Amino acid sequence: MHRLLAVLLLAAAAAPAAAAGVDPATPEGLAALIKLIDERQRNQGDWKALCYMEAKEKGKTDVVSELLVYRRDADEKQMFLFTKPKAEAGKGYLRLEKNLWMYDPATGRWERRTERERIGGSDTRRGDLDESRLAEEYDATFKGAEPLGKYQAWHLSLKVKPGVDVAFPQVELWVDQATQNILKRQELALSGKLMRTAYYPRWKKVASPSKGGEVWYPEEMRFFDEIEKGNSTLVLIKEIDLRPLEANLFTKAWLESRSR
Amino acid sequence: MLLVDLQVAARNLTRHTRRNLFLGAALASVTGLLVLLGALTAGIEGSMMESATTLLTGDVNVGGFFKVTSGSAAPLVSGYPKVLELTRAAVPELDYFTVRGRGWAKAVSDSASMDLVLGGVDIAREPAVRRVLQPLGGTLDELAQPNTMLLFQGQAERLKVGVGDVITLSAPTERGVNNTVDLRVVVVVKNVGIMSAFSAFMQADTLRGLYGLSPEATGAIHLFLKDRGQANLVAARLREEFQRQGYRVMEPDPQPYYMKLFQTVPSEDWTGQKLDITTWEDELGQFKQFIWGIKVFTGLLVFILMVVIVIGILNTLAIAIRERTREIGTLRAIGMQRRKVLWLFVLETLLLGLGGCAFGALGATALAAGLNAAAIHVPEAVQLFLSQEHLTFQLRLGAAAQDVLLLTLVTVVASLGPALRAARLKPITAMHHIG
């Protein structure tokens, strides 16, 4: 019953896009497009991904890591567990009740960190690997249709809704007209200064048993620091598994046990 | 009578020149080392205090943290005018105060970046900053303008910027929203110790803008007392007073506020405002431990050297007594009392100790003065440990005199044993002694 409802909701949200094509120039079409972007990426159940991360920092050696990302969106739980390199293996982040904790196996200590923590010192943040909540967090305006490389894109401008806390109060989005996938995202500071640009050149979909439909995810993400030019991070999602995870997985004890 | 004794003792010392010169030189070396190490430690402590009280702390600080969520923390005191009013009423020992914004941000120039601990200042009300900081370019008055920044020489070199250049500061607001501000460097000043490696100043209202703070919020109120020795007393009184007024006050924790900001406070499970009353010693927690470490090391070194000296004295006096046994026998035979023999030997050692130690202290003082004048540049890696840009010895006459007296006393005490043995000799045995 729940699955059927979810499918119906998704179909309703995607209706304008699926039927006569999305028209973000109208307020209804724009709202539908934002909802569609969220819905296509949303999964009803658990989420596990094997990620490869390559962080480049100006004047420093590149840092390459491999990590497992776990999500249970219904409870807003999330976990990162580094598996490579050896020096970082066992290090992890655990998000519980909107608190982000970091575990360092070298000291055996947990430290509470800010939600906007840069994961593993890279340009990636926890939110980059969380579910999309654009409709909940931002009010959108349509800026126009414009080419982005070989793609035809819609340019949307998002401003944070009053009373909502986000890392970037203003976001510029370029959405592929053909697939409704995000191609480029620019994040601006409160001052209006451009802080980070992200590119999503490859998207993939995977069947979700819990959702009863498809879940889209960016297979490749490239983040560029616009303040410290020369710093960038590449994230590749190599494997996705949407089967239910262990019930007690999102606990400090579980992460510690994997770190030993 | 004492003069005669002194003459006799001095004459005895000069009769055994080689041996006494050797012992005197050893005493002089140890005293010199002790004075030099003491002056170096005092120099490090002095530089640290100077930079700390200019950059980071008052004698007592009324600071605090505000947590929107339990996982975040901002170093601020909300509604500070009322807090200031209560503070002034509770601290009659107050000489003057400054109101400082506190923050942390990444500073980015065209070619480099670095993390900075920020102080938001109203430069017109910062007498210590004006007194201590020496501009190398630009003027301190310019810091009264909005969107301006003061950098230390080392920071300007690292960021490769000069007066007139623009840098970007990037930091999250208290609600975790990323923000930036572009600032013009209006003054570059000489470094003042290790803390100037990571502390910088900007105009107070610009700092409030960066963190999205109201005009009634600040980082901390720095209190400068007429007598710094009263700091602990005043801090304890303020903690009690604020608690009585209904404020939540943090337990004393001897750590700089930025360590609490990154390590302890975000892990604590509370939200809202808490005040944190600290003293200059709390804010210098780790540095004080470092100084204590140096003092322990110096103490150990001096102890080992003293043991060597005591053994040397015991040996030298034992040899001297053996060589002078017949002389002691003769003196005893012509009527010299045992107490007098003991006195003469102790007097000899006292003269030797005083002379050697005083010579060592004078030599060390001259050497330290010479090294200060030479202004030897300390390598950047060592600056971290010494808190100094140039090797600085802070010479204190009282401490040097204390070292001389201490080592002389040790020498005299060490000589008591052999001197007693000499005094116990029977005249007949001593006169028959061959060798």
A98, A112, A191: residue with CB nearest B181: A191
Q: Is B122 helix (H, G, I), strand (E, B) or coil?
A: coil
Does the CB of A96 have a partner CB in chain B at under 8 Å?
Answer: no
Stretch 214-243 of chain A: residues touching chain B, C-beta under 8 Å: 227-228
Supply the angle between the helices B231-244 and B80-90 in degrees, to the nearest 10. Answer: 120
Helix crossing, B17-55 with B397-424: angle to 10°? 150
pLDDT in tens, B106-147: 999 998 999 999 999 999 988 888 888 889 999 999 999 999
Q: What's the complex ipTM?
A: 0.81
Residues sharing a CB contact under 8 Å with residue A6, sequence separation 6 or more, in sequence order: A44, A211, A212, A213
Longest dimension (CA), chain A: 58
**Residues in chain B closer than 8 A to A195 (CB atoms):** 170, 178, 180
- Smallest Cβ distance to B179: which of A59, A112, A190? A190
pLDDT at A29 over 90: yes
Chain A residue with minimal CA distance to B108?
A: A228
List, for residues A97-132, the tens digit of each pLDDT value: 778 889 999 888 888 887 777 888 888 888 888 889
Residue A25 has which token pair?
């120039």
Among A residues 152-191, those touching chain B with beta carbons less than 8 Å apart? 165-169, 187, 189-191
pLDDT, tens digit, 9 for 90 and up, residues B299-339: 888 788 878 877 877 787 778 777 777 777 787 888 888 88
Higher pLDDT, B279 or A12: B279
For the record, the structure tokens of B144 come out as: 């009264």
pTM of the model: 0.74
Average pLDDT over residues A229-242: 93
A111: CB partners within 8 A, 6+ apart:
A101, A102, A104, B263, B266, B267
Q: B176–A113: do the CB atoms touch at under 8 Å?
A: no
Distance from C-alpha of B162 to C-alpha of B138, rounded to nearest angstrom: 9
Q: Which helix (H) or strand (E) holds A214?
A: strand A213-225
Which distant-in-sequence residues (6+ apart) come within 8 Å of B426 by Cβ? B332
- pLDDT tens figures, B347-358: 888 898 899 999
Chain A residues with CB under 8 Å of B175 CB are: 165
- A252 shares contact with chain B (CB less than 8 Å): no
Q: What is the pLDDT of residue B387?
A: 65
Burial of B343 (0-12, 13-18, 19+ CB in 10 A): middle
Q: Which of the residues B66, B68, B70, B180 would you substitute to probe the A interface, choosing the one with the greatest number of A C-beta atoms within 10 Å? A: B180
Q: How many CB atoms lie under 10 A from the CB of residue B269? A: 9
Average pLDDT over residues A29-58: 92
H-assigned helices in A114-174: 134-137
